[in-house]
A and B are shown apart, each in its own frame.
Chain A
Amino acid sequence: MINPIYAKRENLLKIRKEVFQANPALPSAQLPKFFSTEIYRKLQQAKLTWKSHNHPIEHKYERAVIPAAILKTINNPEVHKAISSITGKKTSKLSGEFIRLKHQDFSLMHDEHIEKPGTDIIIDLTNDWPIAGGLITYFVDGQHIPLPPLGNTLSIIQRKNNVQKYFKYVNNNAGRKKRVLLVLNARS
Chain B
Amino acid sequence: MIKSWVNPKYLEPAKQKQLKRSFLASKPFRHLELRDFFIEKKAIQILKALGKEHFFPKESDLFQFNQTNNLAASERKSIQQLLELWSTDEFAEFMSNITGFNIKPLVIDSFASLYQKTDYLLCHDDEIEGRKIAWLLYLSALQKGDGGTLNLYTAKKNLPDKVVKKLVPQFNSFTFFEVSPVSFHAVEEMVKEKQRVAITGWFRD
Contact = CB atoms under 8 A, between A and B. Distances in A.
Specify the main secondary structure of chain B where it touches its partner: strand
Contacts of A107: 61
Contacts of A172: 118, 189, 191
B44 interface: no
A41 B15 CA distance: 67
B189 A109 contact: no
A106 B118 CA distance: 14
Contacts of B59: 144
B189 A108 contact: no
Interface stretch (A10-18, A92-100, A120-128, A163-171): A163-171
Contacts of B60: 144
Nearest to B192: A172
B159 A169 contact: no
B120 A169 contact: yes
A136 to B, nearest CB: 11
A84 interface: no
B64 A169 contact: yes
Contacts, number: 41
B122 A56 contact: no
Given A169-B120, A172-B191, A57 B160 contact: yes
A137 B158 CA distance: 28
A168 B61 contact: yes
Interface string A99-117: 0000010111100000000
A107 B123 CA distance: 12
Interface residues of B, number: 17
Contact of A108 (B61, B64, B118, B184): B61
Interface size class of A (residues with CB under 8 A): 10 to 19
Contact of A173 (B62, B64, B118): B118
Interface in B153-174: 153, 159-161
A57 B61 contact: no
Interface string B63-77: 010000000000000
Contact of B118 (A56, A57, A166, A171): A171
B167 to A, nearest CB: 19
B124 interface: yes
A104 B123 CA distance: 12
A57 B189 contact: no
Contacts of B161: 56
Nearest to A103: B189
Interface string A146-188: 0000000000000000000010110111000000000000000
Closest 7 CB pairs of A and B: A171-B118, A166-B61, A56-B160, A108-B61, A56-B159, A172-B191, A109-B61
Interface of B: 59-62, 64, 118, 120, 122-124, 153, 159-161, 184, 189, 191
Given A57-B123, A144-B61, A166-B61, 8 more contacts: A56-B153, A57-B124, A107-B61, A108-B62, A133-B118, A137-B61, A144-B59, A171-B118
30 contacts: A55-B159, A56-B123, A56-B153, A56-B159, A56-B161, A57-B123, A57-B124, A57-B159, A57-B160, A57-B184, A104-B189, A106-B61, A106-B122, A108-B61, A108-B62, A109-B61, A132-B118, A137-B61, A144-B60, A144-B61, A168-B61, A169-B64, A169-B120, A169-B122, A169-B189, A171-B118, A171-B120, A171-B189, A172-B118, A172-B191
